[in-house]
């Protein structure tokens, strides 16, 4: 385990010492020198190679694993040089090979990297290039792709050699015996990996991190995936041969976690443990425990650790996970392994690939080493549909959606709730058509003009097909539209049914006018909408049935869309990142009583503060929805008091098991009291590392926008189930 003194130094460097490198000058120079190349893939490879070649090598005195951002050079000369390069590049936009095919939501084939090394993959690519037949109508495309891969892989090997040379230099200058030992281990690892196959645990963890670091430098977040799976054979071999100890392994995992916080900041960098191996066997081992324990011993926001829960999960590991949550670390989140696998198979993913997925930042599912998946693409506030219906086809407030025009019905014609509900579905279809048409254009652009050869080398089936991941090379190319505010829509429809059609308290016109005025002068109506109308998440059938029906309707509507790329199908997601705040500010007040500029609902649970019948009732509501269809990601937030988390610890364990048994997709927890949150608002400098669960991911509370801070504070803190 890393010493407390060392961890204090590391955290000081992360938070208080400026690090970073802007590669814009190298990119600009590479563009100028190579813009005459015949294809965008070759130009992109040259740009990525120049970026890696220009990147300053830096090894911090506390690093055990190489791959660290350098100290920031912010001199006027350097800033001016970068600004001039940026002006030049801005003239060219995202064309001519500049565009990256980054998704920021995928994991490469680390097993292949560890088994073959960069040199082995380079040899594979060269063999494929030599075998291209001139009679193949795609021969020119394939040759371009393979040559781009060669340029990129060779640059990655040079990058390793730079790091090895720097580690040797530091070793030769070092006087401290303990640091000499650490540097010797680093030098030995960098002498071999990632160029060659990893031979032991130290080399394996160094290999995967340097690859992840290089990808980040060239603009892609490839994420760590499931290290307790692919690192375990190295761990087991080294432990049995007594060439490493458990404490040394754990210390390397801690250092890996700190490296995440160096390059990702608060971007949720996914790491998942447990679940199953590719062959379907349960995967729980010593590394699973270490990856959970390191959440506490490092204490920072990254990595975004999650557990693939299945019935084979050891009970003491579940206990350890809940201890992390009780202590306020907000992680791990729990994913229902059976539901995730079922949903991926339903979407056409093979059995083997479905077993081996990742939550690629928040809660969206990405099959590992096979994906070109676009997450939260786009974010859509379907409550806008209610604005269009109530206001003669026009918005009431804020931004419009791209939508196909349909002749709005007169409100007088919507004389039954069934007619209003049908009009809502028609408007949802209308919004989806407009928004997803734009996404189809985005996919076409990515297919024609974007690439990232180094990453595509480790995405199946790119090398086999001779195609970039964004151009039919990846096995799966799903698109995940995301629907923040979905629960507001359910509650709004429930409220309209009650106040307009059943109790006839107001007309549709009067409701519209109240929304236009943001409930000014309509406090009694708003109070009724908030407190007397059915709310999803309380096990009330009349609202839950609307939720289930709309969920299935959206899922069926998405099936009519596809794209120009192989397996380019659409699948829904129900979380928000921070977009429930952004979209809440852009939309009007809603008929559930939410005021304009308040955040929308952030998950598939309840509107903030409306789960008044408790977590079990909320579980019953969500269980009525067939959540396996939501492979785009479903978050369900729970907030427990510290007192109940401690006193009801065993009850919460049982609750999680029942939550999963009832077919729910994901659960995540906040355990932080109101007083702490309010104090963080007043004195943010005292709470720099206060962690909270937002809407699918964790972040530092003091870094969040005020609208999101208020939204988190508004969630009910439960003292029981």
For 64, 467, 685, the CA distances from 474, given in Å and listed in that order, are: 34, 8, 45
- On the question of pLDDT at 95 being above 80, the answer is no
What average pLDDT does range 238-252 have in this prediction?
98
User: Exposed, middle or buried, 645 (CB in 10 Å: 0-12/13-18/19+)?
Assistant: buried
Give the strand pairing for 333-336 and 304-309.
parallel
Nearest to 486 by CA among 590, 585, 565, 382: 382
The reported pLDDT for the residue numbered 83 is 93
The answer to whether residues 591 and 497 touch, using CB atoms and an 8 Å cutoff, is no
Residue 638 DSSP class = E
Where is 576: in which H helix or E strand? none
- On the question of pLDDT at 594 being above 90, the answer is yes
141/144 Cα distance (integer angstroms)? 5
450/41 Cα distance (integer angstroms)? 7
What average pLDDT does range 458-480 have in this prediction?
97
SS3 category, 407:
coil
The reported pLDDT for the residue numbered 38 is 85
Task: Return the structure tokens found at 671.
Answer: 């355990």
User: pLDDT tier at 97 (50, 70, 90 boundaries)?
Assistant: low
User: Exposed, middle or buried, 130 (CB in 10 Å: 0-12/13-18/19+)?
Assistant: exposed
The answer to whether residues 324 and 332 touch, using CB atoms and an 8 Å cutoff, is yes
What average pLDDT does range 181-209 have in this prediction?
98
Average pLDDT score, the chain: 95
**Lowest mean pLDDT: which of 35-49, 239-253, 315-329, 523-537?**
35-49
User: pLDDT tier at 530 (50, 70, 90 boundaries)?
Assistant: very high
The answer to whether residues 29 and 49 touch, using CB atoms and an 8 Å cutoff, is no
The reported pLDDT for the residue numbered 402 is 65
pLDDT digits (tens, 9 = 90+) for 24-66: 999 999 999 998 888 999 999 999 999 999 999 999 999 999 9
302/268 Cα distance (integer angstroms)? 6
What average pLDDT does range 521-541 have in this prediction?
97
- On the question of pLDDT at 5 being above 90, the answer is yes
- On the question of pLDDT at 96 being above 70, the answer is no
- On the question of pLDDT at 404 being above 90, the answer is no
pLDDT digits (tens, 9 = 90+) for 416-447: 999 999 999 999 999 999 999 999 999 999 99
The reported pLDDT for the residue numbered 227 is 98
Nearest to 34 by CA among 92, 81, 83, 86: 92
321/288 Cα distance (integer angstroms)? 10
The reported pLDDT for the residue numbered 696 is 87
pTM: 0.96
The reported pLDDT for the residue numbered 90 is 78
pLDDT digits (tens, 9 = 90+) for 636-657: 999 999 999 999 999 999 999 9
- On the question of pLDDT at 403 being above 70, the answer is no
- On the question of pLDDT at 606 being above 90, the answer is yes
- On the question of pLDDT at 477 being above 90, the answer is yes
Nearest to 550 by CA among 627, 600, 489, 497: 489
What average pLDDT does range 230-248 have in this prediction?
98
């Amino acid at each position: 385990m890393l010493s407390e003194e060392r961890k204090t130094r590391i955290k000081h460097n992360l938070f208080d010492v400026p690090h970073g490198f802007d590669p814009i000058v190298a990119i600009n120079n590479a563009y100028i020198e190579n813009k005459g190349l015949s294809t965008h893939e070759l130009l992109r490879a040259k740009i990525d190679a120049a970026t890696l070649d220009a990147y300053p090598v830096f090894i911090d005195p506390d690093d055990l694993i190489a791959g660290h951002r350098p100290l920031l050079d912010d001199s006027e000369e350097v800033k001016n040089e970068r600004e001039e390069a940026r002006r030049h590049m801005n003239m060219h936009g995202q064309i001519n090979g500049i565009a990256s095919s980054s998704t920021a939501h995928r994991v490469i084939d680390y097993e292949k990297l560890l088994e073959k090394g960069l040199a082995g993959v380079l040899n594979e690519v060269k063999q494929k290039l030599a075998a291209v037949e001139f009679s193949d109508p795609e021969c020119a495309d394939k040759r371009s792709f393979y040559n781009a891969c060669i340029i990129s892989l060779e640059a990655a090997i040079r990058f390793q050699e730079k790091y090895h040379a720097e580690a040797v230099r530091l070793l030769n200058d070092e006087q401290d015996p303990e640091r000499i030992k650490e540097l010797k281990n680093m030098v030995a690892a960098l002498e071999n990996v990632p160029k060659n196959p990893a031979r032991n645990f130290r080399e394996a963890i160094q290999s995967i991190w340097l690859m992840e670091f290089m990808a980040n430098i060239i603009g892609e977040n490839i994420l760590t995936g499931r290290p307790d799976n692919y690192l375990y054979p190295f761990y087991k071999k080294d432990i049995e041969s007594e060439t490493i100890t458990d404490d040394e392994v754990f210390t390397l995992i801690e250092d890996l976690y700190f490296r995440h916080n160096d390059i990702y900041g608060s971007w949720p960098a996914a790491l998942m443990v447990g679940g199953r191996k590719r062959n379907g066997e349960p995967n729980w081992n010593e590394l699973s425990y270490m990856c959970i324990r390191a959440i506490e011993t490092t204490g920072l926001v990254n990595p975004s650790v999650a557990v693939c829960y299945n019935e084979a999960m050891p009970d003491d590991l579940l206990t350890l996970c809940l201890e992390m949550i009780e202590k306020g670390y907000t992680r791990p989140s729990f994913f229902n392994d059976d539901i995730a696998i079922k949903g991926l198979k339903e979407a056409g993913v093979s059995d083997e690939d479905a077993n081996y997925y990742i939550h690629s930042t928040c809660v969206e599912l990405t099959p590992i080493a096979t994906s070109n998946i676009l997450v939260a693409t786009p974010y859509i506030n379907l409550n806008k549909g209610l604005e269009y219906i109530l206001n003669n086809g026009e918005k009431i407030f804020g931004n419009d959606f791209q939508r196909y025009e349909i002749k709005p019905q007169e409100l007088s014609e919507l004389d039954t709730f069934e007619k209003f509900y049908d009009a809502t579905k028609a408007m949802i279809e209308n919004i989806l058509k407009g928004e997803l048409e734009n996404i189809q254009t985005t996919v076409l652009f990515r297919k024609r003009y974007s690439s990232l050869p180094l990453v595509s080398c480790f995405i199946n089936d790119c090398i086999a097909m001779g195609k970039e991941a964004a151009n039919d090379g990846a096995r799966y190319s799903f698109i995940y539209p995301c629907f923040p505010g979905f629960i507001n829509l359910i509650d709004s429809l429930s409220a309209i049914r009650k106040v307009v059609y059943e109790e006839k308290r107001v007309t549709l016109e009067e409701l519209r006018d109240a929304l236009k005025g943001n409930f000014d002068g309509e406090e009694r109506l708003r109070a009724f909408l908030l407190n007397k109308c059915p709310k999803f998440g309380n096990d009330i059938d009349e609202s839950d049935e609307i939720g289930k029906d709309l969920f299935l309707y959206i899922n069926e509507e998405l099936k009519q869309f596809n794209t120009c790329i192989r397996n380019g199908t659409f699948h829904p997601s129900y979380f928000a990142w921070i977009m429930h705040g952004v979209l809440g500010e852009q939309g009007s007040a809603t008929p559930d009583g939410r005021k304009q500029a308040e955040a929308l609902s952030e998950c598939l649970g309840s509107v903030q503060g409306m789960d008044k019948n408790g977590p079990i009732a909320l579980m019953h509501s969500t269980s009525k929805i067939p959540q396996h269809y939501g492979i785009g990601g479903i978050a369900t937030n729970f907030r427990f008091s510290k007192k109940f988390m401690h006193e009801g610890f065993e009850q919460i364990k049982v609750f999680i098991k029942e939550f999963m048994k009832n077919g729910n997709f994901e659960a995540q927890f906040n355990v932080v009291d109101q007083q702490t949150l309010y104090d963080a608002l007043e004195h943010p400098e005292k709470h720099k590392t206060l962690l909270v669960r937002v809407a699918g991911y964790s972040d530092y509370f003091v870094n969040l926008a005020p609208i999101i801070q208020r939204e988190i504070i508004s969630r009910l803190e439960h003292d029981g189930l």
